[in-house]
Amino acid sequence: MVPATKQARGFTLVELLVVVFIIGLLVGLLLPAVQAAREAMRRSACADNIRQISLAVHNYHDANKKFPLGQQVPLYHLEFPGGTSSETWAANVLTDRRCWMHLICPFMELTNVYDQIMTSVTLNNAWPFQLSVGTARYPAFMCPSDSNAGKISYYDQSTNGKTSTRGFCGNYLACASSGSFGDSGGGRDLNGLFFVKSKVKISDVTDGLSKTVMLAEGVVAPDPLSSIDLRGGYFNTQNGEPLVSTLYPPNTSMGDGWYGFFSNWSPKAPTGGTSRFVQYTRSWHTAGVNVAMADGSVRFVTDFVNAAIWTAAGTRAGNDTTGALE
């Protein structure tokens, strides 16, 4: 006699719901850890970027016996208080919008960028942001944690339909000052390493290379519909767009400011008064920013760094070298 086969038993609805609940609970517990691991990888990649850029800056110094200038053109509304005529502006480096980023390109396997910029400057025939290299994207200058990195900035897009570009915007800024970018003189003679027409040498850094900020992160802000935000812009430098100040600690709530060329995009990119020219270091990393010191070392500086020490680190020769950045 053949024994009766046992009927297969499936999951009950309650058992299925318990399994789904447990899986959801595990996913909920693991997801923050996965996200944290991904951000740690992005922060590490960002540190690699800024290290590569700092090495290129030093290679430029080795070849030219000075650091690259911060930017060529004077800060527009400081050089010509009260506005300018087109003739006056044309007589004062109309299209020469070079900055430190362009000058180190040959040391980052971007010689074509340097060549196009310098050819244009020599012939005075195009703005850098009108060149093909001005609207390309450069991953080495883009923080992986910033979703806006690599933005090609446009002016008055609601009117012009994004036809008037101001070029590529990146995340790495050169330290110009421990204060604002100046109240007169077009942003010259600031106390950092990079400013308008700067020619700073290593021997000028008497505070110590390991205690002087060379590069720091900034965030790229979206363009408003009827305006423009030039923070991090390398190809239309006219008001300190590729420069940074250590006046306030990283990710300060104090707003950046320069003559209207920014949007009010809080909390990562707040804006301040239009009467001063300044940009502070910010990032999308958790509670801090990557910073390259003048000796080429890279460190993560937290939002809670001692404010006085951080401000002092922005000067090259301020006799204020006490304390370490943390």
Whether 263 and 289 have beta carbons less than 8 Å apart is answered as no
Q: What is the pLDDT of residue 95?
A: 72
- Where do the structural domains in the chain lie, given as residue ranges? 17-312
Confidence of residue 90 (pLDDT cuts 50, 70, 90): very low
Least confident of 67-76, 99-108, 247-256: 67-76
8 has pLDDT over 60 = no
214 has pLDDT over 70 = yes
Q: How far is the C-alpha of 294 from the C-alpha of 10, rounded, in Å?
A: 68
Q: What is the pLDDT of residue 322?
A: 62
- Taking only Cα atoms into account, the Rg of the chain, rounded to an integer number of angstroms, comes to 24
pTM passes above 0.75 = yes
Q: How far is the C-alpha of 67 from the C-alpha of 156, rounded, in Å?
A: 35
Q: 298 pairs with which residues across the strands?
A: 292
Average pLDDT over every residue of 210-220:
96
Top-confidence residue, 125 or 309: 309
Confidence of residue 1 (pLDDT cuts 50, 70, 90): low
Top-confidence residue, 250 or 8: 250
Q: What is the pLDDT of residue 194?
A: 97
State phi, psi for 38 to the nearest 5 degrees: -65, -40
| Pairing mode, strands 243-245 and 172-177 | parallel
175-198: string of b/e by CB count within 10 Å (b at 16+)?
bbbbbbbbeeebbbebbbbbbbeb
